């Protein structure tokens, strides 16, 4: 499988992280994994909601150093 597509939205406030994820998702191949890095706490709500709307799966949400939230999202096949 290909490397995950990295979407770096650190330092941006919502809805920018979700918009960046949407743009990357549109060009990703079916089944592709995307990794979104965000620092806005609202992304914890917005990203899973967005993923559900488009039929993507949130595989994992983890906290990293520096207040970074890492989302692993898989595009539907």
Q: How many domains does the chain have?
A: 1
Q: Which two tokens stand for residue 71?
A: 């989302």
Longest dimension (CA), the chain: 33
Q: Around Cβ 64, how many Cβ atoms within 10 Å?
A: 11
Asked whether residue 44 carries a pLDDT value surpassing 90, the answer given is yes
Mean per-residue pLDDT for 29-37?
Answer: 97
> CA triplet 21, 25, 26: central angle to 5 degrees?
120
d(C-alpha 3, C-alpha 50), whole Å: 22
Which residue segment(s) compose the domain that 11 sits in?
A: 5-74
61 pLDDT tier (thresholds 50, 70, 90): very high
The model's pTM: 0.95
Asked whether residue 43 carries a pLDDT value surpassing 90, the answer given is yes
CATH no. for residue 46?
A: 3.30.110.40
Q: Identify the DSSP state of 65.
A: G
């Amino acid at each position: 499988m290909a490397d995950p597509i990295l979407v770096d939205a650190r330092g941006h406030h919502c809805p920018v992280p979700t918009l960046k994820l949407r743009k990357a998702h549109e060009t990703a191949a079916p089944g592709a994994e995307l990794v979104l890095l965000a620092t806005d706490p609202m992304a914890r709500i917005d990203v899973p909601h967005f993923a559900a709307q488009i039929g993507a799966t949130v595989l994992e949400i983890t906290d990293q150093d520096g207040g970074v939230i890492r989302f692993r999202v898989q595009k539907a096949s």
